[in-house]
């Protein structure tokens, strides 16, 4: 056996940093997983011998391509698009597409890596992938967005397929963009097939998919609280973001008897001490996904609410916090503030919203902390159900899918407790998710030999 088979954790991380220069988000995501996996496999020779972690942390492939499009003023614009296919040991690559100016190869590699563990946790046959472009949909007309999506798919289509790689939405990619991309894929291939999820219900989309991520993050919170003999009822919640995940998380919190105090976007956050009720959530949904406005407008519209320009909501005292906007939006100081203000639980709707230092603060204070790769898995889980419905040419109803989502979140919670229970009543959900997610993928890879 080669000596390198037994590198320790610091040496392993040195190698990851050396091979991925400047890719800080990717290195952060690998680091969050690797420590737990090193502990888990310390007495499991077969995983060392087959270099399983090293292989999962090296994407199967990273496809990068030019995306040219013409804006409404007839200027030719050039963007960069990517699809990162991280690992397909347990099913076709699966994961969203993000359109945002902050998208880089590092961001998409971290998301595809995380997705591999998240998809494994769902128990459904899905590998991990992620894609996107440094395109900013904000301020663009529908025609511009359509032309961009068509150009993006002109390259992407040859790398995806219902048994190969099935993208979906993420930041900046919702029903409108999925529709344009599906239309272009169908035109290029002359095939109607379940190549994308998050489609409109008229053309094969699953009921419950729009709600699934936000609802799922609250079901996960509910499972974590119940495990400590507590509940969402009468809890105050601070939520960041105001897109798909944030608005549906807010909706489920109030359905379960909680009170939502904040929402945000990249311009700042709004604080509504009276609580953001269903009518106000519907108004925000219309504002963000139809009028494509800014959350600051909420404070102009609803009396009693205030807008805090350029600020994040973590200073507002609350019982539970749900970061639902983007990565690294909750740092060490903000985590300390939440703890000193009495937060009891954190459930992440976003992917990797808390920095490594922030996670450490929550663990030290024994705060119930559910990381994104388990708490927000409800979205991709219902995407998996959309794939099944498309393959079977069937559609399940809202009630059945709602039950399946609650069962899936309960199942994920159970797996994380199995591997994360610290024996003193505290559950390390990071460890639980990392090990449970890793084991299934790793065992499949062992079965394949060296490929
Ligand atoms: P949306 O595009 O619907 O909403 C994104 C929200 O986050 C907006 O309010 C946006 O504000 C805000 N935001 C984006 N970037 C930043 C930034 N750099 N700083 C501050 N705020 C920002 O996306 P989703 O709701 O779908 O995604 C939110 C998070 O949830 C992401 O981390 C995503 O990866 C994750 N996720 C999404 C799933 C899904 O099914 N959609 C599934 C699992 C996870 P603004 O309008 O100003 O850009
Ligand atoms: O981060 C995620 O899990 C998503 N953006 C959803 C992926 C999917 O394929 O539904």
When pLDDT is averaged across residues 346-366 and rounded to a whole number, the result is 98
The tens digit of pLDDT for each residue in 91-150 reads 999 999 999 999 999 999 999 999 999 999 999 999 999 999 999 999 999 999 999 999
C-alpha 289 – ligand 1 centre gap (Å): 12
> 263 exposed, middle or buried (CB, 10 Å; 0-12, 13-18, 19+)?
buried
- Is there a catalytic annotation at residue 291? no
Q: Which pLDDT does position 2 carry in this prediction?
A: 44
CA distance 200 to 210: 10
Q: How far is the CA of 269 from the centre of ligand 2 (A)?
A: 25
Contact 222, 253 (CB under 8 A): no
Gap between the Cα atoms of 429 and 214, Å rounded = 19
Fold assignment, 210-375? Rossmann fold (3.40.50)
Q: Relative to the CA of 263, which ligand 1 atom is closest?
A: 9
Residue 1 in this model has a pLDDT that exceeds 60:
no
- Among 131, 243, 262, which is best to mutate for testing ligand 1, by the most ligand atoms less than 8 A from CB? 243
Domains 61-193 and 210-375 share a fold: yes
Looking at ligand 1, which residue's alpha carbon is closest to its atom 3?
A: 243
Catalytic choice (94, 109, 118, 130)? 130
The ligand whose atoms approach the alpha carbon of 352 most closely is: 1
> What is the tens place of the pLDDT at every residue in 400-418?
999 999 999 999 999 999 9
What pLDDT, on the 0 to 100 scale, is given for residue 280? 98
- DSSP notation for 162-227: TTTEEEE-BTTB-HHHHHHHHHHHHHHH------SSS--GGGTPPTTHHHHHHHHHHHHHHHHHHH
Question: Nearest ligand, CA of residue 296?
Answer: 1
Report whether pLDDT(371) > 90.
yes
Q: Which pair of tokens denotes residue 192?
A: 């109607």
Q: In what order do the strands lie in the sheet with 320-322?
A: 306-309, 268-271, 259-265, 236-239, 320-322, 345-347, 368-370
Report domain extents, the chain: 3-56, 61-193, 210-375
Atom of ligand 2 nearest to the CA of 209: 10
Burial of 139 (0-12, 13-18, 19+ CB in 10 A): exposed
pLDDT digits (tens, 9 = 90+) for 41-85: 999 999 999 999 999 999 999 999 999 999 999 999 999 999 999
Rounded distance between C-alpha atoms, residue 287 and residue 201, angstroms: 22
How far apart CA 330 and CA 356 sit, in angstroms, is 10
| C-alpha to C-alpha distance for 410 and 416, rounded to whole angstroms | 10
CA of 11 to the centre of ligand 2 (A): 32
Residue nearest to atom 7 of ligand 1 (CA): 325
pLDDT at 383 over 80: yes
390 exposed, middle or buried (CB, 10 Å; 0-12, 13-18, 19+)? buried
Q: How far is the CA of 266 from the centre of ligand 1 (A)?
A: 10
In angstroms, how far is the first alpha carbon of the chain from the final one? 18
Cβ neighbours of residue 430 closer than 8 Å, sequence gap 6 or more: 32, 36, 359, 363, 369, 371, 420
Q: How far is CA 352 from the centre of its chain?
A: 8
CA distance 281 to 96: 24
Token pair for 228: 């400590």
**Cα–Cα distance measured from residue 36 to residue 44, given in angstroms and rounded to the nearest whole number:** 13
The DSSP 8-state label assigned to residue 152 in this structure reads: H
User: What's the CA gap between 106 and 30, in Å, rounded?
Assistant: 11
Are β-strands 128-133 and 93-99 bridged in parallel, bridged antiparallel, or unpaired?
A: parallel
Average pLDDT over residues 354-358: 98
Q: Which of 354, 422, 376, 334 is nearest to 170 (CA)?
A: 376
Output the CA 285–ligand 1 centroid distance in Å.
13
- 300 pLDDT above the threshold of 50: yes
Q: How confident is the model at residue 3 (pLDDT cuts 50, 70, 90)?
A: very low
Average pLDDT over residues 153-157: 98
Report how far residue 175's alpha carbon sits from residue 234's, in angstroms, rounded to the nearest whole number: 33
Type and span of the H or E element at 430: helix 429-448
| 4: confidence class by pLDDT, cuts 50, 70, 90 | very low
The C-alpha atoms of residue 209 and residue 220 are separated, in whole angstroms, by 16
Phi, psi of 337, deg, nearest 5: -65, -45
Closest residue by Cα to residue 343 from 377, 367, 360: 367
Interacting residues of 362 by C-beta distance below 8 A, sequence separation 6+:
335, 339, 346, 354, 369
Cα–Cα distance, 111 to 95 (Å, whole number): 8
- Say how many Å lie between the CA of residue 381 and the centre of ligand 1: 18
CA 338 / ligand 1 centre spacing (Å): 21
Q: CA–CA separation, 165 vs 160, rounded Å?
A: 5
Q: Which ligand is nearest to the CA of 386?
A: 2
Give the integer Cα–Cα distance in Å for 114 and 398: 28
* Radius of gyration in angstroms for the set of CA atoms belonging to the chain, rounded to a whole number: 21
List ligand 1's pocket residues with C-beta within 6 A.
100, 102, 169-172, 174, 213, 241-246, 265-267, 324-326, 329, 349-351, 376, 379
Structure token digits, residue 274? 């009276």
Compute the distance between CA of residue 212 and CA of residue 346 in angstroms, rounded to an integer. Answer: 18
Cα angle: 171, vertex 168, 420; to 5 degrees: 80
Closest CA to 240 of 299, 136, 320, 340: 320
Q: What DSSP designation does 451 have?
A: -
- Residue 6, pLDDT score: 73
pLDDT at residue number 7: 87
Q: Whose CA is nearest to atom 20 of ligand 1?
A: 266
- Residue 439 has a pLDDT of 97
Ligand 1: residue whose CA is nearest its atom 15: 326
| Ligand 2 atom 4 nearest Cα | 96
- Our mutation pick for probing the ligand 1 site, out of 108, 325, 352, counting the most ligand atoms within 8 A of Cβ, is 325
- Summarised one tens digit per residue, pLDDT across range 240-270 is 999 999 999 999 999 999 999 999 999 999 9
CATH 3.20.20.80 is right for the domain spanning 61-193:
no
Question: Where does 323-409 show beta strands of DSSP type E?
Answer: 345-347, 368-370
Question: Residues enclosing ligand 2, CB less than 6 A?
Answer: 94-96, 115, 168, 170, 197, 351, 379-380, 383
């Amino acid at each position: 056996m080669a000596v390198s088979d037994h590198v320790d954790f610091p040496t392993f991380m040195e190698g990851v940093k050396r091979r991925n220069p400047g890719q800080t988000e990717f290195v952060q995501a690998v680091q969050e997983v690797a420590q737990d996996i090193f502990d888990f496999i310390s007495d499991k020779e077969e995983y060392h011998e087959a270099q399983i972690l090293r292989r999962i942390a090296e994407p199967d492939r990273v496809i990068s391509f030019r995306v040219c499009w013409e804006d409404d003023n007839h200027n030719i614009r050039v963007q960069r698009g990517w699809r990162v296919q991280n690992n397909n040991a347990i099913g076709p690559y699966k994961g969203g597409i993000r359109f945002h100016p902050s998208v880089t190869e590092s961001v998409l590699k971290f998301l595809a890596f995380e997705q591999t563990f998240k998809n494994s946790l769902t128990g459904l046959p899905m590998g991990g992938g992620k894609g996107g472009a440094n395109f900013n949909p904000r301020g663009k007309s529908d025609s511009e967005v359509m032309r961009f999506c068509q150009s993006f798919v002109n390259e992407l289509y040859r790398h995806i397929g219902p048994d190969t790689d099935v993208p979906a939405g993420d930041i900046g990619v919702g029903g409108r963009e999925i529709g344009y991309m599906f239309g272009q894929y169908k035109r290029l291939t002359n095939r109607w097939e379940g190549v994308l999820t998050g489609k409109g219900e008229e053309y094969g989309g699953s009921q419950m998919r729009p709600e699934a991520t936000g609802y799922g993050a609250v079901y996960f919170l509910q499972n974590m609280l119940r495990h400590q003999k507590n509940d969402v009822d009468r809890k105050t919640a601070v939520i960041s973001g105001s897109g798909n995940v944030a608005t549906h998380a807010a909706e489920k919190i109030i359905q379960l008897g909680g009170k939502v105090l904040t929402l945000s976007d990249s311009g700042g956050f709004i604080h509504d001490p009276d609580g953001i009720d269903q009518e106000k959530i519907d108004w925000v949904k219309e504002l963000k996904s139809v009028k494509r406005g800014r959350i600051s407008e909420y404070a102009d519209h609803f009396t009693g609410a205030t807008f805090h320009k350029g600020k994040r909501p973590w200073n507002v005292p609350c019982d539970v916090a749900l970061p639902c906007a983007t990565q690294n939006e909750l740092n060490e100081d903000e985590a300390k503030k939440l703890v000193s203000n009495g937060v009891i639980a954190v459930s992440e709707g976003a992917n990797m919203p808390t920095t490594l230092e922030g996670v450490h603060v929550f663990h030290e204070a024994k705060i119930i902390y559910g990381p994104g790769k388990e708490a927000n898995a409800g979205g991709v889980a219902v995407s998996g159900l959309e794939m099944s419905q498309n393959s079977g040419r069937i559609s399940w109803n809202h009630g059945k899918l709602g039950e399946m989502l609650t069962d899936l979140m309960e199942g994920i919670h159970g797996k994380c407790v199995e591997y994360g229970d610290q024996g003193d009543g505290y559950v390390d959900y990071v460890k639980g998710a990392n090990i449970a997610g890793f084991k299934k993928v790793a065992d499949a890879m062992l079965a394949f030999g060296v490929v």
